[in-house]
Chain A
């Protein structure tokens, strides 16, 4: 569904590329995570996947990037809207503000796509239901909590039924409850609608729980591409400045202090950790 071949991008006036020689593929219906330290290029990659690079941010491109069979560089933002969805951190900036109700805000994308009114109504209702916003439809978008606003931002994209959904740290401004709400929604989406999802995220535990595969980015380069269990417990990610989960850290410290392990893998989640320490012997 997403395919990059030797893709590189440099922002105008910079000498270092922000994305450098990336090649990978994301199969349809998969849930992918994207991790990397600050400045690694996660946001840049998200923008490129959604066509904001090169159609909104200019710069120098090389290699190829296709999403849903579309050559991004040859397309336009108008054509890509509705096929590739993009969600990012700050809900306040994503809410257009030009609609006075949650329903109206969700409908905006479909109105721009010229979808007939009856169909808009159906799709909006369905999406509100799916995102748990059905009871808030007539509220002002600005009267919602942070978690609700971020679900509204996601709903406003989902309503266009994109084949691919790109999310750039969508939970970084949310509390654990808001974060759980967002992940529950994404999980359901991948399961039921076979949407292909790629999410940049600092909260590794969530990636461990939900994703099929994780990409590791550092200084614009792809360092690893594999299942969360292997990639996220690899000491490599700590070396580049990504903090492993507290379970991985605890197990690593325990081993350093002489804990003898039967398993060779490090735990990623609470459940892993319980099994891990059950097996361990001093």
Chain B
């Protein structure tokens, strides 16, 4: 059982960038995907920026698999819902009272491309960044360290909680609890299923808190860190530049400077 994250350790230049630099890269792709006015340009962000980045990070197969797996339900729903219900003139297909329209398909394609870009940008970030290093980078920049504790601990204890939930499910089934059958039966099965899991989790919190206290968690005063993150002047410059480009893109979009 391992930590449920997407991170893939690879020896690549991309992996070795400072986590905030990676965050800036991904932020740039997300902002571009949201603000660029033409669908094709948005698709270009995926094809010409995100995919090459993934290849550079030696995670291209996983990137393609995850992003396509994620996008197809959106693509399907959007094509049907926008295709049939968005207003338009060019009817492609008439099904009784419903008609599939070209304008709807175009709208669906535009939404699909934008969702694809931002979701796959997030996925790429996770494929190439260890969550603990990302949190360390943010903590060094002033994020309260309790937030880092919460996120990283949650990530690591999930498998244990899933395992406990399964164990309770099995034992309740063995005692004859109905988890099959009609809806009312399945609903009634929920409380004895989740209550023991929640109650036992609450009762062990004191131990978790004491264990932290015993290690100086609430001690006043400065902290140090075992691990260091490598940062360079060019990376810092790149991050500032990205920030400016992102702001410009947003401004251009809001002011209507960019049009198809």
Contact = CB atoms under 8 A, between A and B. Distances in A.
Chains A, B in direct contact (C-beta < 8 Å):
yes
Contacts of B2: 140, 142-143
A121 B227 CA distance: 9
A112 interface: yes
Interface in A135-170: 140-143, 153, 156-157, 160
B210 A90 contact: no
Most B CB contacts (10 A, CB to CB) among A85, A98, A120 go to A98
B157 A100 contact: no
Interface residues of A, number: 48
Contacts of B247: none
Contacts of A81: 213-217, 219
B226 A111 contact: yes
Given A78-B219, A81-B213, A98 B160 contact: no
Given A78-B219, A99-B132, A117-B226, A94 B160 contact: no
Contacts of A92: 160
Given A88-B207, A96-B149, A100-B156, A117 B215 contact: no
Contacts of A114: 221-224
A77 B213 contact: yes
A111 B207 contact: no
B207 A93 contact: yes
Contact of B152 (A93, A97, A109): A97
B223 A93 contact: no
B253 interface: no
B152 A99 contact: yes
A100 B216 contact: no
Contacts of B228: 117
Interface string B199-232: 0000010111111111111111111111110000
A82 interface: yes
B130 interface: yes
A98 B209 contact: no
Interface in B153-205: 153, 156-157, 159-160, 204
A123 B149 CA distance: 23
Main secondary structure of the interface of A (DSSP, over half): helix
A50 B214 contact: yes
Interface string B1-24: 111000000000000000000000
B interface bracket (residues with beta carbon within 8 Å of A) = 35 or more
B152 A107 contact: no
B148 interface: yes
B225 A111 contact: yes
Given A100-B152, A142-B160, A86 B226 contact: no
Nearest to B226: A107
Most B CB contacts (10 A, CB to CB) among A57, A95, A108 go to A108
A57 B225 CA distance: 30
Contact of A98 (B130, B152, B210, B227): B152
Most A CB contacts (10 A, CB to CB) among B211, B222, B225 go to B211
Interface string A44-59: 0001001010011100
Given A99-B132, A114-B221, A143-B2, A85 B211 contact: no
A104 B226 CA distance: 7
Nearest to B148: A98
A112 B222 CA distance: 8
Contacts of B220: 78
Nearest to A92: B160
A142 B1 contact: yes
A13 interface: no
Given A100-B130, A112-B216, 19 more contacts: A52-B213, A52-B214, A78-B216, A86-B210, A88-B211, A93-B208, A95-B211, A96-B149, A96-B215, A98-B149, A100-B156, A111-B223, A114-B224, A117-B225, A124-B226, A140-B156, A142-B3, A143-B1, A157-B215
For the complex of A and B, the 10 pairs showing the least CB-CB separation, nearest first, are A78-B219, A112-B216, A81-B216, A97-B153, A109-B215, A107-B226, A93-B207, A94-B211, A98-B152, A86-B214
